[in-house]
């Protein structure tokens, strides 16, 4: 799956995602928490973010399974200093992004959905 996709294609998706959306950090991770590609400032530990994303997604999937509410699409965490959005791209990949707290959630989700469409086209 990832071995057949050139890494620059993943990076292009992440670079384009940041344009005009308020997103300042993003990564494509495998659902088991391994980094495929990232575009993050140096003060963010990308491996830790990837691992925590996998943990959050697994916990949310457990909740949805226990409540018989279908599949998880995304997790949105809003805090005083950031918004973190993790969205399932397909059965293997998750797109996670961090944005400024005052960023428009609708614009972020729109741009993330476009990025997920591109990710699904190449994988």
In this predicted structure, what is the pLDDT of residue 28? 96
What is the per-residue pLDDT across 29-72, written as a single tens digit (0 to 9) for each? 999 999 999 999 999 999 999 999 999 999 999 999 999 999 99
In this predicted structure, what is the pLDDT of residue 2? 52
98: its two tokens: 């961090």
In this predicted structure, the answer to whether residue 3 has a pLDDT above a threshold of 60 is no
Length of the chain in residues, anyone?
A: 123
Sequence spans of domains, the chain: 2-122
CATH fold of the domain at 2-122: Beta-Lactamase (3.30.450)
What is the per-residue pLDDT across 104-122, written as a single tens digit (0 to 9) for each? 999 999 999 999 999 999 9
Helix (H) or strand (E) holding 23: strand 23-30
In this predicted structure, what is the pLDDT of residue 5? 78
């Amino acid at each position: 799956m990832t071995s057949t996709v050139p890494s620059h294609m993943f990076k292009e998706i992440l670079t384009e995602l940041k344009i005009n959306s308020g997103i300042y950090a993003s990564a494509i991770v495998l659902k088991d928490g391994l980094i495929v590609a990232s575009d993050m400032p140096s003060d963010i530990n990308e491996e830790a973010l990837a691992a925590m994303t996998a943990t959050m997604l697994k916990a949310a999937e457990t909740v949805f399974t226990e409540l018989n509410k279908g599949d998880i699409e995304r997790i949105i965490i809003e805090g005083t200093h950031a918004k973190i959005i993790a969205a399932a791209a397909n059965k293997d990949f998750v797109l996670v992004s961090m944005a400024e707290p005052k960023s428009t959630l609708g614009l972020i989700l729109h741009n993330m959905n476009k990025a997920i469409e591109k990710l699904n086209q190449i994988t």
